[in-house]
Structure 1
Amino acid sequence: MTALDVGGIRDVAAAAFAWLSAHREDFALGEDALTADGQVDATWKPLGELAQTCASVRAHSPPWDPLHACAADLLRFAWQQTGRGELFRHLQRLEPFATYPLEVYSVFASAGLRHPGYEAAAATTARTRGWRLTEQDPTRRLGVLKAERRSGIHRPEQDDPTLRRTWLGGLPEPWTFERSSGYALTHVVFHLTDWGRDPEGVPADLAAYLAHWLPPWLDTCLDAGMWDLGCELLVVASSLPDPPDPATLQDAWTRIARAQLDSGALPQQAAFQEDAAADTEPGFLHCYHSTLMAAFAAAQTVTCLSREAEGVPG
């Protein structure tokens, strides 16, 4: 790809980060974040996803890169929203067997932001049979195991048996791909690669399977205007040992760039754009995740292309 093409992908990331920065208060934790009936999907989930995207982009970009600075600033904001980790200890007391606090906390821990008191409390709970026997689907279980390790909790359970029970790990017939399996497979790859940090974390048979089938799945999703899932697949594409060919990436990023609004927001899917006026931005909950994924995927793609140009493996 040419430098101009890479510049265009960087523009998508920069615009997305500009929107995220402008809307940081929408990610702030409200008073309901610690209530028994609080809406986790509207409080901790957006904040955790903001933290994950920013931690990943910060890790993948050099300090002099403006994207690095923006990601680092938003990561600090997210950490401050948690009381620098203290709110996780409160959550531990309220919901000792809930996994989402550890999953969110582990994002910060992976970035070097830690709260020893919470980690000690979480480790105590993790030693119970009740915690180990919590029923989870395989993709979620894989994520919890990774969250434990990020947070200093180690157990003998291995990833591979869990991985092979996931949709992707079973190497299913490619024509069975659909929206739900698409999101499942992207998260399996996120967990295996530590969100793009370790391309070699994908087993060889899965990497070969994805190298063959990811391009047509990506094309199908973008044809359907599924911008959110399309960006997640682009993160996967740039996290593999052998990313797709430049033409596939160029076509995908051209379509994502066209779908991105002037504000930098990216709607979850084309239907939201069709149902609203051309200059109307979808509500926060209908575009925050897809905008995060656009920022992450663009930054990850630029990193991948830079490494290829320099001849650096992975």
Structure 2
Amino acid sequence: MTAAGTDDVRQVAEDALAWVSAHRAGFALGEDALAADGRVDGTWKPLGELAQVCATVTRRTTPADPLHTRAVALLEFAWRQTREGELFPLLQRLEPFATYPLEVYAAFASAGFRHPAYEEGAAVVARSRGWQFTEQDPTRRLGVLKAEERSGVRRPGRAQRLLRTTWLGGLPEPWTFERAAGYALTHVVFHLTDWGRADGPLPPDLARYLADWLPPWLDTCLDAQSWDLAGELLAVAATLPHPLDDVVPPDAWQRLRAAQDPTGAIREEGRETGDGEARDPGRYFTHHYHSTLLAAFAAVLTTAHPAGASAGPEGRHGRQGAPA
């Protein structure tokens, strides 16, 4: 990746996190966060995604980096929304077999924000058959297993068995890729790599498969203006043990940056149709927050890729003498 290309990617991250900071009130938990009929997708899900992305940004940047400082501030804001973790035991009592509280909590735990009493309670519930046999698709179950690990619950050997029951783990025919499969495969990679915070955990056959087929899949998503999924695929590309120039179309970041509006936001799909924020701020936030977060996430992983375009196929850290 050229220096100019790196500058473009860095600017995507800076502008996206600036927008997230300016709109952080949209991630705040309202009074319905503990409601029995609460809309989890509009309360806990955005907050968990904010924590997940910012945990990675802090891990993949240095303390002197303004992106690091901004991500730390957003993490602290998000943790305060949970009352420093006190809401998690309350959620557990209200919905003992719901997995989303643990999944959100695990994002905080990966950044060092912990609530020991909740972890103790979660470990008790996780030993029950009711928890272990909850009906879930394989990708979601893999995510829950990884959330358990980050929260102190260990189940050795299960991740690899689960992996092979996912869409990506089956190494399917590449022409069967579509929207649902795309989101499933990106999340399998995120779960296995601890959301880009861990180096080198992808099985070699999966890494080779993704290196072969990410370029046309990414190109297809960019052509379709599926900015959210394109951002997720760019993040996956940055976790692979391959030169970025081999797995990312040469104009991919320029196309994504062109979709970023002057405020730093990126719409999930399509083009902006006017001042939607002024007309309906809530709807505007809903259709921009995830794709904007994921653009920042992918950009930070890309700029932190250990060898850029010079890493060899031997592994993420490259050949002897290659930059690590």
Normalization by structure 1: what TM-score? 0.95
- The Cα offsets for residues 46-78 of structure 1, whole Å up to 9 and x where unpaired, read as 000000000001001111111111111101100
Query: Do the aligned partners of residues 94 and 157 (structure 1) sit closer, same or farther apart at CA in structure 2, a change above 3 Å counting?
Result: farther
Cα offset for 1:161?
A: 1.4
Query: Do the aligned partners of residues 292 and 99 (structure 1) sit closer, same or farther apart at CA in structure 2, a change above 3 Å counting?
Result: same
| Distance in 1 (alpha carbons) for counterparts of 2:90 and 2:162 | 30
Q: 1:15–1:264: 8 Å Cα contact kept in structure 2? A: yes
RMSD: 1.6
Cα offset for 1:199?
A: 3.7
Q: Secondary structure at the match of 2:196?
A: coil
2:312 corresponds to 1:311: no
2:289 corresponds to 1:288: yes
Query: Do the aligned partners of residues 263 and 306 (structure 1) sit closer, same or farther apart at CA in structure 2, a change above 3 Å counting?
Result: farther
2:201 corresponds to 1:187: no
Q: 2:211–2:246: 8 Å Cα contact kept in structure 1? A: no
| Distance in 1 (alpha carbons) for counterparts of 2:39 and 2:124 | 26
- The Cα offsets for residues 146-191 of structure 1, whole Å up to 9 and x where unpaired, read as 0000000112451111100100000000000000000000000001
Q: 1:142–1:162: 8 Å Cα contact kept in structure 2? A: yes
Aligned-residue identity in percent: 63
- The Cα offsets for residues 169-228 of structure 1, whole Å up to 9 and x where unpaired, read as 000000000000000000000011111122411100000000100111000000000000
Q: 2:142–2:159: 8 Å Cα contact kept in structure 1? A: yes
Query: Do the aligned partners of residues 43 and 240 (structure 1) sit closer, same or farther apart at CA in structure 2, a change above 3 Å counting?
Result: same
Cα offset for 1:246?
A: 6.2
Paired position in structure 1 for 2:63: 63
Equivalenced residues, count: 309
Q: 1:199–1:240: 8 Å Cα contact kept in structure 2? A: no
Query: Do the aligned partners of residues 268 and 293 (structure 1) sit closer, same or farther apart at CA in structure 2, a change above 3 Å counting?
Result: same
- The Cα offsets for residues 97-147 of structure 1, whole Å up to 9 and x where unpaired, read as 000000000011111110011011111111111111111110001001000
| Distance in 2 (alpha carbons) for counterparts of 1:252 and 1:9 | 10
Cα offset for 1:248?
A: 3.2
| Distance in 1 (alpha carbons) for counterparts of 2:247 and 2:91 | 47
Normalization by structure 2: what TM-score? 0.92
The structure whose residues are more often helix, as a share, is: 1
Cα offset for 1:305?
A: 5.7
- The Cα offsets for residues 8-56 of structure 1, whole Å up to 9 and x where unpaired, read as 1111110001100000011000000000000000000000000000000
| Distance in 2 (alpha carbons) for counterparts of 1:86 and 1:308 | 45
Q: Secondary structure at the match of 1:197?
A: coil
| Distance in 2 (alpha carbons) for counterparts of 1:246 and 1:303 | 16
Q: 1:211–1:243: 8 Å Cα contact kept in structure 2? A: no
